[in-house]
Chain A
């Protein structure tokens, strides 16, 4: 095998990983019984990404987004270029929060209007599922 410096191999691996790491893990609140009505689910906005990126919650859940970046972000329903209209936080900045209660089951993709590479998803399932 041809020898490559360690630093090159690490960089190459990191570059290849970028292409495979785009699928976020689903964060599920619906199962397990630890979740009760009235609980708010937190999503942090940090380093220009929503965390968790994909959230599954029962209908009636309030999701709270907290901006940890020193710049304005929005939580806007839809996909970049095609807003959905179900919700739009408007811009809010570092340390501020915005919340929305999801009453209807369905899939709610969202993005930041200022940074369209920032996307997330809330999957709302019927209560009791």
Chain B
């Protein structure tokens, strides 16, 4: 067999392996072995740049979860404002799963104690958003103002947590970003309460896009802080 034929035979083997690895029904041990062989194969066949780095995975995860936080939150508040209790409960449950996943993502970098501290802190601001939603629904201006004040104060607390975890992230900058998150989300609630669906969806997109500023900055700070975890 010529060298060219041997090369194509090897290429075919790698491709077949790639396909079989994606098929369900394999044990984790089998997958670990295959993952290693796949990596070796990729290195041999595709030595060029790749987007599949642990740093990009972190950035993707934070972006995904923080955007999801906004979308699920908007679903929950919309259901609440429309009096759909079952839908609200389902959305709130999914939103809490998102909160837990965010805590786990933080824990994977900062440790379990940080994850344990993150979760109640994160849930707290969701509570303030619920307070605001209830106030809007009831036309209670005093409660609405208190929810806004609580959200503003909360931003400093959350920023302090993030700064403790990643000291390169300045408290003031994170505070401003989190306050902006609150503001963009309150606009969505106001739109929903006004029955302006078109504006509500546009503003939901804007609120979700704002989270990218938080996710990207956080991911960058983590990678700089723990270079040993992000070698590839």
Q: Point out residues on A near B: beta carbons under 8 Å.
A: 1-3, 6-7, 9-11, 14-15, 17-18, 21-22, 46-49, 51, 68-71, 114-115, 117-118
Contact = CB atoms under 8 A, between A and B. Distances in A.
Given A49-B113, A70-B160, A10 B108 contact: yes
Contacts, number: 87
B112 interface: yes
A1 B28 contact: yes
Nearest to A12: B104
Contacts of B27: 1, 3
B130 interface: no
Interface residues of B, number: 38
Given A11-B101, A69-B161, A115-B121, 6 more contacts: A1-B27, A2-B25, A6-B35, A47-B165, A70-B160, A71-B161
The interface residues of chain B, by DSSP majority, are classed as helix
A31 to B, nearest CB: 24
Contacts of A17: 107, 112, 115
Contacts of B24: 2-3
Interface of B: 23-28, 31, 35, 57, 61, 100-101, 103-105, 107-108, 110, 112-121, 124, 156-157, 159-161, 163-165, 171
Contacts of B116: 18, 21-22, 49
Contacts of A18: 100, 103-104, 107, 112, 115-116, 119
A46 B164 contact: yes
Which 5 pairs from chain A and chain B are nearest by CB?
Answer: A71-B160, A117-B120, A14-B104, A48-B117, A70-B160
